[in-house]
Structures are given as C-alpha cells and as structure tokens.
Amino acid sequence: MRLVVAGGTGVVGRHVVAQARAAGHDVVPLSRSTGQDVVSGDGLAAALAGADAVIDVTSVASTSTRTAVGFFRRATTHLLAAGQAALVPHHVALSIVGIDDETSGYYAGKVEQERLVAAGPLPWTLLRATQFHEFVPQLVQRTSVGPFVVVPAMRTATVAAAEVAGALVALAAGPPRGRATDLGGPEEAELADQVRRFLTATGERRRALRVPLPGPLRRRLRAGVLVPGPGADRGRQTFAEWLSQAPKLS
C-alpha cells in the first residue's frame, strides 16, 4: 500500500515511517522539512496522489488554545481536502485518551481535529493513545525554567511511541473503523514521578516541580481522566524498560 505519513519526522511519525517501510509499504513522509506544509496546504496535492491511506501525526508544540485549535483546524481541513481531491480512501488520525469536552489549551485543538475528521468527507479511523513515554523528555525540553521542570499534576499511563506507531500502521492497512479501541501503556503513574526518574537516569540536574493546572482541568487530571478505561488495549513496554534505552537530552 502507498501510505502518506503527515508528521513523519516527529516522535511517533519516525516510528510510523520505519514500521510501515519494514512491513513492505510504499511510504511517503510529509512535513515542512520535506517541503510540505499542512497549515498552508503547500505540497499536499502532489504528496497525496495515489495514496491508499493518510496517517496524520502532525503536531504543534503549544498550550495556547488559539494556536492549537488554529493548527489542528487548518492541518485537518487541508489534509482532508487534499485527500478528497486525490480520492484517498482512508484518513487515519492519532488523538489522545480522555480529551472529551476539553475547551482549552492543546487538548482543545485535538477535540477540533477529532470533530473535523468524524464530520469530514473521507472514511476515517481515529486512534486515541495516552501520553508517550517520550512525552517525558518532550516535557523536560518544553517546560524547563532555570533549574526546574514544571510538570502538571496528573495521572498517566504512558505508552511507547513505537507501539502506538505499530497500531497506526495496522489500522491504516485495514478498513476504516471510525473510533478504534483506545491504546494505553501497561501501568499507571504520576507524571512528575516519571520526570524525576528520567532526570535521574539521564544525569540531568534539573528538578521536577509538580504544579496543579488552573481551572476545571485540574480536577479531571488529578482524577486520572487521561488514563484509559478498562476496555482499552495496553502496550507492553514499561516506562522503566523504555528508560533503560532512552537517549540523553542533547
């Protein structure tokens, strides 16, 4: 199959590209660094020509509601329009467990993406996963303030990005399913504890500062809204196993 991977250079996108190629698919990675832009739409028509499925794993590193909603609205609208023009029969998107009803921050952007995909012109599959193990170093890089890493107080069940990628490739190779079964990691933890373990394991001197988020999201995060329910699929690799191979921050 010809699979287009939008965001194919990202944390999960790299795994999607590698695993799709290993499975024998003809893979077209798409990102700004390869000359396409999902926000402007530039280069999408050529990239999607002849595709059997598009896997959207693009992202924007922002907690601003305006930025996140704007990014996911434009990206999804352009990818769906280009997919419709190219007669792509399957649009696969990756979202996040437990984001229903979020109206602010990054998660509001994901809610908008889900809405557009479900209402859009292409047959679709939407996989919701929990935060990746790799989310921990992403957070360290994005929320460090001097010697501190600011970590939202929240329960998580992180999963290996490689396992999420495997699920996406399998879904893209099958028929459109609508909402797929949620995918979470094998165990539950407090995110700040995982950040501390990562900092220790990689010899970082920064300290994790656990901070309750403002607003109604605070209560939901503390209650574990981002942890998958009993019907979810579970990845196998634990955070400790992933950590034993995790690269140091550059």
Using CB under 6 A as the criterion, which residues of the chain lie in contact with ligand NAP when the complex forms? 7-13, 31-33, 36-39, 57-59, 61, 94, 96, 110, 129, 131-132, 135, 138
Nearer Cβ to ligand NAP (17/122):
17
Is residue 90 within 8 Å of residue 52, measured between CB atoms?
yes
The three-class DSSP label of residue 12 is helix
Smallest gap from Cβ 120 to ligand NAP, in A, equals: 16
Enclosing H/E stretch for 2: strand 2-6
CB of 224 to ligand NAP, least distance (A): 16
For 56, the token pair is 């959207």
Minimal CA–CA distance to 126: which of 142, 111, 148, 139? Answer: 111
- Side-chain-facing half-sphere of 203: CA atoms under 13 Å: 4
List beta partners, residue 126.
Answer: 93, 179
CB nearer to ligand NAP: give 131 or 199. Answer: 131
Nearer to ligand NAP, 58 or 125 (CB): 58
Residue nearer to ligand NAP on the CB measure, 8 or 235: 8
Q: Which residue is nearest to ligand NAP (CB)?
A: 10
Shortest spacing between CB 129 and ligand NAP, in angstroms: 4
Minimum distance of ligand NAP from residue 10's CB (angstroms)? 2
Which residue reads 């029969």 in tokens? 89
